[in-house]
Amino acid sequence: MRAFITGGAGFVGSHLAEALLDAGDDVLVLDDLSTGSIENIDHLKSHPRFGYHIDTVSNEAVVAEEIDRCDVVFHLAAAVGVKLIIEAPVRTIETNVHGTEVVLKHAAKKHRLVVIASTSEVYGKGTDIPFSEDSDLVMGATSHHRWAYACSKAIDEFLALAYWKEKQVPVIIARLFNTVGPRQTGRYGMVIPNFVRQALSGGPITVFGDGCQSRCFGYVGDVVQALVGLAKEPKAVGEVFNIGNDEEISIGKLAQRIKTLTNSRADIVKIPYGDAYEAGFEDMFRRVPDLRKIKSLLDWRPRLDTDELLGRVIEYARERSNSYR
């Protein structure tokens, strides 16, 4: 199989590239390095079945050429992270919606399979926990920029499924819940790499809000195996799937757990959302996936629990810290 990965130098994309190469597939990556990093794929450059373009998904000539050469497109290119979404809502909307439009338009010409990475953010302020793929999507007001990402990814889903219905373009929607692992940066507000960095440096560990909000964290290695599995399963076409882990933990307890696992003496400090992001910021209180659909289709289960994935992130952070000394 020849795979084309948009956003392939990003956190999830680089792990996906590794997994595909390990499985014997050919991989071509496209990334403009706006949130990805060339460092994430440095170790892959010498691989005989790997290639890459440093360019944007808006470059239709490049996208068209690589879709023509591939068997499957993994569309991961997106503006991500709460901090980036708040600071650059125009970039968020344009990158997410237009990029998906370009990919689908050219995939339609060659009838290529497209696996689109969506997000648990599309569930918005929903309270029907756990979230199943057919749950209602409950968004906040358009005056709150925080919801721009969720809405843009929901539009991506609508557009992809419209291409499937109207033009028979094979598409699969993967709603990724909070995904964690080595190479993830805290630069755009990702909570675990930020907590780990703060704990290892002596703190303080900064919890936004009251810490009672909860999340479920899935290991990136488990997530990419699910993506690959879906791409190889014909029954997944035209469907939406939650991917992640359903082990729930509050952000306050997460901070304490990281402090314990790192043997840190850092203080845990709570910062109001208005100070951390913007006045009137709205958050999702709980975000828990219903994983029955993907489990029933694939022989797939999340392998790592929260403590195990935290251990891997902490080990990676320590190795990087030592390499700079």
Considering the domain boundaries, does residue 316 fall inside one?
no
What's the mean pLDDT when you consider all of the chain? 94
For residue 173, report the phi and psi dihedrals to the nearest 5 degrees: -105, 125
Residue 121's pLDDT band (cuts 50, 70, 90)? very high
Indicate if 277 belongs to the active site. no
SS (HEC) of the chain: CEEEEECCCCHHHHHHHHHHHHCCCEEEEEECCCCCCHHHHHHHCCCCCEEEEECCCCCHHHHHHHHHHCCEEEECCCCCCHHHHHHCHHHHHHHHHHHHHHHHHHHHHHCCEEEEEEEHHHHECCCCCCECCCCCCECCCCCCHHHHHHHHHHHHHHHHHHHHHHHCCCEEEEEECCEECCCCCCCCCCHHHHHHHHHHCCCCEEEECCCCCEEECEEHHHHHHHHHHHHCCHHHCCCEEEECCCCEEEHHHHHHHHHHHCCCCCCEEEECHHHHCCCCCCCCCCCCECCHHHHHHCCCCCCCCHHHHHHHHHHHHHHHHHHCC
| 266-321 per-position pLDDT tens digit | 999 999 988 888 777 888 899 999 999 999 999 899 999 999 999 999 999 999 87
Does 248 have pLDDT greater than 70? yes
Residue-level pLDDT at 322: 72
Residue 240's pLDDT band (cuts 50, 70, 90)? very high
Residue-level pLDDT at 323: 61
Considering the domain boundaries, does residue 94 fall inside one?
yes
Considering the domain boundaries, does residue 93 fall inside one?
yes
Residue-level pLDDT at 274: 83
Report residue 56 as tokens: 């944007």
Considering the domain boundaries, does residue 313 fall inside one?
no
Contact 196, 314 (CB under 8 A): yes
Contact 28, 4 (CB under 8 A): yes
Total structural domains within the chain: 1
| 122-160 per-position pLDDT tens digit | 999 999 999 999 999 999 998 888 888 899 999 999 999
Considering the domain boundaries, does residue 297 fall inside one?
yes
Residue-level pLDDT at 146: 83
Does 80 have pLDDT greater than 90? no
Considering the domain boundaries, does residue 325 fall inside one?
no
We report the CATH number of the domain holding residue 154 as 3.40.50.720
Q: Return the minimum-mean-pLDDT range out of 30-39, 84-93, 198-207.
A: 84-93
Does 325 have pLDDT greater than 60? no
Considering the domain boundaries, does residue 113 fall inside one?
yes
User: Among the options 149, 163, 219, 277, which is catalytic?
Assistant: 149
| Mean pLDDT of the 241-267 span | 98
Residue-level pLDDT at 282: 84
| Mean pLDDT of the 8-31 span | 98
Residue-level pLDDT at 324: 52
Report residue 278 as tokens: 């913007």
Report residue 97 as tokens: 């919606």
Residue numbers of the domain that contains 83: 2-184+217-247+285-303
| 148-194 per-position pLDDT tens digit | 889 999 999 999 999 999 999 999 999 999 999 999 988 767 899 99
Output the pTM of the full model. 0.95
Considering the domain boundaries, does residue 192 fall inside one?
no
Contact 308, 314 (CB under 8 A): no
Residue-level pLDDT at 321: 77
Count CB atoms within 10 A of the CB of residue 299: 6
Q: What are the distances in angstroms from CA 13 to CA 19, 263, 293?
A: 10, 31, 23
